[in-house]
């Protein structure tokens, strides 16, 4: 007769530690598989291992954003007449309000910087190759969501800079052929930037984007746990030739302690930036005032913003700006589909071309961003 | 230093570090979530209409600073003003011309026309304000 595959009955004599909270939980939830997973989880060690820390650090800073964002919600009032005043109240009246808001502002930038670094590191290590295509796609979706958080959060203080940056940003989205007018009205909640836009962006920032981000993030993390860390091509080939396995570091506690050290450093950098360079509030937005000179979006949108400036108004009979937006859209889709484009052998010619395209993209982004800053300074 | 002592020292150092970190995270957060004391409007006195606006045996609730206040003209024509916040649970009181008392509708608390709690659950009298007439205008001021 076959043995039953049902979960084991609790042992008659209590196991050591059963009186502890963990023991109490274990009796009810059967944590053994989880403990087993944690015990066996390991991270490969090789000369590129340090790139593994970027994802965890991005996640950590995202959690800092969630916590500081929830705290700011206690005081923020999302209306045209009160938004700016409520942020000023936080900065000037609430104890540590300047610190919490400055951390939120700086951390938003660090999250973007780390998310981009994480993306490019996985790109150049070709971590997206089979079977990790979905991890790449979910990561790209998360990056898009982070950009959405940045764009929607930028308007919330309702200052001049954020007002006109949103004006320009939504106009760019509105220039899309066909869908443009719909997207423009959807984003603005009307034809122009008003209190309705502010309320809408607030809704995107604190409800809609988090509701989408949570499951995508869960999927991304689950895929990483399921498939383990990817080995760089060179390391994989070397060990395949030798018939060996790369040395491993136990995730708990060895890797985690190193990761925690990284988080501490990130937090120290954040606190330093927030304390030394408090996030500015600026001047309250006035829809009937002219735009101040040198209006720019956040740095992570700058390369696109600067490119659009250089495109002629008309190319053949087509609108230059529309062509630019379509080109960026196409570039984004190709980037999203990289795992499906680069399917050949990792050392093949095609794969090398994809890598070269990636190098070009990085150089292009850096150069255009730098040009935008230099031109702004010299104006 | 033997291994055991070194381990203890390290454990206490790491423990202190973690404790200090937790404190440094929680201290600003707890301070942040407690709102700063309200600034108040700074209003020490307020003009509340003209003398003829308020008939005998009537009362009106008006805004005085950030709080409601009650102005009553007694049957004899005397003007009196009080805070309109019931001393029981903070509801806004009103003047009841039928029973000639200040009445709190929430729990049927009653105050006489000197603000003294005379019935129901209110534990303390209402604070009274000064009332003056200036060129025919009623002026209510704090510090009765």
Q: Split chain A (379 residues) into runs of 10 and give each run's mean pLDDT.
A: 44 56 87 88 92 95 97 96 95 96 97 97 94 96 97 96 91 87 94 94 98 98 93 90 90 92 93 93 90 84 91 85 91 95 82 93 96 81
Q: Is A74 on the interface with B (CB under 8 A)?
A: yes
Q: Is A96 on the interface with B (CB under 8 A)?
A: yes
The residue of B18, B23, B28, B37 whose CB has the most chain A CBs within 10 angstroms, and thus the best one to mutate to test that interface, is: B28
pLDDT at B111: 97
With b for 16 or more beta-carbon neighbours within 10 A and e for fewer, the A151-169 pattern comes to bbbbbbbbbbbbbbbbbeb
Number of H helices, E strands in chain B: 1, 10
Global model pTM greater than 0.90: no
Nearest chain B residue (CA) to A95: B32
User: Inter-chain contact B31–A96, Cβ cutoff 8 Å?
Assistant: yes
Q: Is A94 on the interface with B (CB under 8 A)?
A: yes
Distance between terminal CA atoms of chain A?
Answer: 86
Instruction: List chain B residues with CB under 8 Å of A71.
Output: 29, 32-33
Q: What is the pLDDT along chain B (144 residues), one digit of tens a residue?
A: 688 899 999 999 999 999 999 999 999 999 999 998 875 555 789 999 898 889 999 999 999 988 999 999 999 999 999 999 999 999 999 999 999 999 999 999 999 999 999 999 999 999 999 999 998 899 999 875
pLDDT at A18: 57
- Report residue A243: phi and psi, to 5°: 70, 30
With b for 16 or more beta-carbon neighbours within 10 A and e for fewer, the A98-121 pattern comes to bbbbbbbbbbbbbbbebbbebbbb
A58-100 pLDDT, tens digit per residue, is 999 999 999 999 999 999 999 999 999 999 999 999 999 999 9
Q: Which of B28, B33, B36 sits opposite A93 (nearest CB)?
A: B36
Calculate how close chain A gets to B3, using CA atoms only, in Å: 21
Q: Which two tokens stand for residue A284?
A: 């309250």
Degrees to nearest 5, angle at CA A146 with A51 and A259: 30
pLDDT at B121: 95
Instruction: List chain A residues with CB under 8 Å of B35.
Output: 75, 94
User: Inter-chain contact B31–A71, Cβ cutoff 8 Å?
Assistant: no
Q: Which of B21, B32, B35 sits opposite A96 (nearest CB)?
A: B32
This complex has an ipTM of 0.82
Q: Is A256 on the interface with B (CB under 8 A)?
A: no
User: Inter-chain contact B32–A71, Cβ cutoff 8 Å?
Assistant: yes
Count interface pairs A-B at CB distance under 8 A. Answer: 26
Q: Is B29 on the interface with A (CB under 8 A)?
A: yes
Q: Is A71 on the interface with B (CB under 8 A)?
A: yes
User: Inter-chain contact B32–A94, Cβ cutoff 8 Å?
Assistant: yes
Q: Is B31 on the interface with A (CB under 8 A)?
A: yes
Contact A175, A325 (CB under 8 A): yes
User: Inter-chain contact B28–A93, Cβ cutoff 8 Å?
Assistant: no
Q: Is B30 on the interface with A (CB under 8 A)?
A: no
The residue of B18, B32, B35 whose CB has the most chain A CBs within 10 angstroms, and thus the best one to mutate to test that interface, is: B32
Q: What is the DSSP string of B111-124?
A: E-TTS-EEESS--S
**Per-chain mean pLDDT for chain A:** 90
pLDDT at B42: 56
Contact A196, A190 (CB under 8 A): yes
Contact A60, A260 (CB under 8 A): no
Q: Please tell me chain A's helix, strand, coil percentages from 3-state DSSP, rounded to the nearest 5.
A: 70, 5, 30
A189-247 pLDDT, tens digit per residue, is 999 999 999 999 999 999 999 999 999 999 999 999 999 999 998 898 889 899 888 89
Instruction: List chain A residues with CB under 8 Å of B31.
Output: 95-96
pLDDT at B1: 61
Q: Is A99 on the interface with B (CB under 8 A)?
A: yes
**Other Cβ atoms within 10 Å of A376 Cβ, number:** 14
Q: Is A100 on the interface with B (CB under 8 A)?
A: yes
Q: Is B36 on the interface with A (CB under 8 A)?
A: yes
The position carrying tokens 């700086």 is A106
Sorted by where each starts, the structural domains of chain A and their CATH numbers stand as 40-281 (1.20.810.10)
Calculate how close chain B gets to A99, using CA atoms only, in Å: 8
Instruction: List chain A residues with CB under 8 Å of B28.
Output: 95-96, 99-100
User: Inter-chain contact B36–A74, Cβ cutoff 8 Å?
Assistant: no
């Amino acid at each position: 007769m076959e043995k039953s595959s049902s979960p084991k009955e609790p042992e008659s004599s209590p196991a050591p530690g059963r009186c502890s909270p963990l023991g109490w939980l274990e009796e009810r939830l059967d944590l053994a598989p989880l403990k087993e997973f944690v015990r066996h989880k390991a991270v490969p060690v090789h000369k590129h291992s340090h790139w593994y820390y970027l994802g965890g650090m991005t996640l950590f800073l995202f959690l800092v954003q969630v916590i500081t964002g929830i705290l700011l919600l206690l005081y923020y009032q999302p209306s045209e007449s009160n938004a700016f005043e409520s942020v000023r109240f936080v900065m000037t009246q609430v104890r540590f309000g300047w610190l919490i808001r400055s951390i939120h502002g700086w951390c938003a930038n660090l999250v973007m910087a780390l998310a981009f670094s994480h993306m490019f590191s996985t790109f150049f290590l070709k971590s997206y190759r089979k079977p990790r295509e979905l991890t790449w796609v979910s990561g790209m979706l998360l990056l898009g969501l982070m950009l959405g958080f940045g764009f929607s959060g930028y308007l919330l203080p309702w200052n001049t800079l954020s007002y006109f940056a949103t004006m320009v940003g939504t106009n760019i989205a509105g220039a899309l052929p066909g869908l443009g007018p719909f997207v423009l009205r959807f984003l603005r909640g009307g034809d122009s930037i008003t209190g309705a836009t502010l309320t809408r962006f607030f809704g995107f920032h604190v409800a809609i984007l988090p509701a989408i981000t949570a499951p995508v993030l869960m999927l991304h993390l689950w895929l990483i746990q399921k498939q383990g860390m990817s080995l760089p091509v060179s390391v994989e080939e070397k060990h395949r030739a030798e018939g060996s396995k790369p040395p491993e570091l136990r995730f708990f506690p060895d890797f985690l302690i190193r990761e925690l050290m990284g988080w501490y450093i990130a937090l120290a950098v954040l606190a330093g930036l927030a304390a030394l360079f408090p996030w500015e509030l600026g001047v309250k937005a006035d829809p009937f005032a002219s735009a101040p000179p040198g209006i720019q979006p956040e740095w992570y949108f700058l390369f696109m913003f600067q490119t659009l400036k250089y495109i002629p108004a008309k190319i053949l009979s087509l609108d230059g700006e529309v062509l630019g937006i379509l080109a960026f859209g196409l570039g984004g889709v190709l980037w999203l589909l990289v795992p499906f484009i680069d399917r050949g052998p990792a050392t093949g010619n095609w794969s090398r071309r994809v890598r070269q395209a990636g190098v070009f993209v990085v150089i292009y982004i850096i150069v255009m961003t730098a040009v935008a800053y230099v031109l702004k300074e010299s104006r | 230093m033997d291994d055991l002592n070194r381990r203890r020292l390290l454990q206490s150092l790491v423990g202190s570090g973690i404790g200090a970190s937790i404190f440094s995270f929680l201290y600003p957060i707890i301070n942040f979530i407690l709102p700063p004391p309200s600034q108040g409007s700074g209003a020490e006195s307020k003009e509340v209409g003209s003398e003829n606006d308020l008939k005998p045996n009537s009362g009106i609730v008006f805004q005085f600073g950030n709080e409601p206040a009650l102005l009553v003209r007694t049957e004899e024509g005397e003007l009196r003003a009080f805070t309109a916040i019931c001393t029981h649970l903070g509801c806004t009181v009103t003047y009841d011309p039928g029973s000639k008392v200040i009445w709190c509708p929430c729990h049927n608390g009653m105050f006489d026309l000197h603000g003294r709690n005379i019935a129901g659950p209110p534990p303390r009298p209402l604070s009274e304000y000064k009332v003056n007439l200036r060129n025919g205008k009623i002026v209510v001021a704090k510090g009765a």
